[in-house]
Amino acid sequence: MDDKYIKGKKLNSLKYPTELKCPVVILLDTSNSMAGEKINSLNSGINLLINTLKNDEIAHKRVELSIVSFNSVVDVIQDFAVVDDIYPVELNASGSTSMGEAILKGIDLISKRKEIYKSNGIDYNMPVIWLITDGEPTDIVPNDDMWKNVVKSVHEGERQREFAFLATYFDGADISILAEISIREPVKLNGINFKDVFLWLCDYSVIFSYSSINDIILSPPNEWGTIDPDK
């Protein structure tokens, strides 16, 4: 399949090329454990994010989203595009939790997008990879080769300022695994109302799009997330 197409939709990959770009990859757990109210809330939240950014006069030109779902398979349901060109998302829950593969896919998407920016002389802020999960990965085991590759890739990417990685989780997620993968403290989601989470990401993305600051401070408000002091 031509890289300019995904799920039959042509991507306008360099829309608003004179604008500073703010790339964000969202990795969404859509495994069986997300079925029901969680997946419904996740669908509402991601579409709220898209619509809110569309209505901001600057952010809709600068924020580029890529959306990746993961269960038994990893699916790039939306390659990088400004929100003008993103259709509503409808996720379904099934299967296991291929989190390791999804993280590596997110890093690969960032790397390729940055090459497009560089080859076209487009300025960009530090990319963000944001993981939302309620379970533990089924495709990596601590200290196996895949595990080592995921941890090394995230840590090296952060150290080299290639991207900022934020892990958020529900009760039931394996916090010890997330804490090993992420150099930033994983953030526990308070409940399953994603509205506040995505509104926070909207606010962050809008602020991010108005500046050229590359230092990322990803501290959630107490309303939707907490950091476990014992982890």
What is the per-residue pLDDT for 146? 93
pLDDT value of residue 141: 87
Give the model's pLDDT for residue 42. Answer: 86
State the SS3 of the chain.
Answer: CCCCEECCEECCCCCCCCCCEEEEEEEEECCHHHCCHHHHHHHHHHHHHHHHHHCCCCHHHHEEEEEEEECCCEEEEEEEEEHHHCCCCCCCCCCCCCHHHHHHHHHHHHHHHHHHHHHCCCCECCCEEEEEECCCCCCCCCCCHHHHHHHHHHHHHHHCCCCEEEEEECCCCCHHHHHHHCCCCCEEECCCCHHHHHHHHHHHHHHHHCCCCCCCCCCCCCCCEECCCCC
In a domain, 43, yes or no: yes
Specify the pLDDT at position 218.
54
Q: Give residue 117's domain range.
A: 30-226
Confirm whether 96 is domain-assigned: yes
Please report the pLDDT score of residue 209 as a whole number.
Answer: 61
Mean pLDDT for back-to-back runs of 10 residues, the chain (231 residues): 39 76 93 90 86 85 93 96 90 96 98 94 88 90 91 95 87 83 84 59 62 54 50 45
- The CATH number given to whatever domain includes residue 51 is 3.40.50.410
How many domains does the structure of the chain reveal? 1
Q: For residue 9, tell me if it sits in a domain.
A: no
Residue 66 lies in a domain: yes
The pLDDT value recorded for residue 11 is 42
Does 58 map to a domain?
A: yes
What pLDDT shows up at residue 135?
82
Q: Is residue 3 part of a domain?
A: no
Any domain includes 71: yes
Q: Whole-prediction pTM value?
A: 0.84
Q: Is residue 73 part of a domain?
A: yes
- What pLDDT was estimated at residue 190? 66
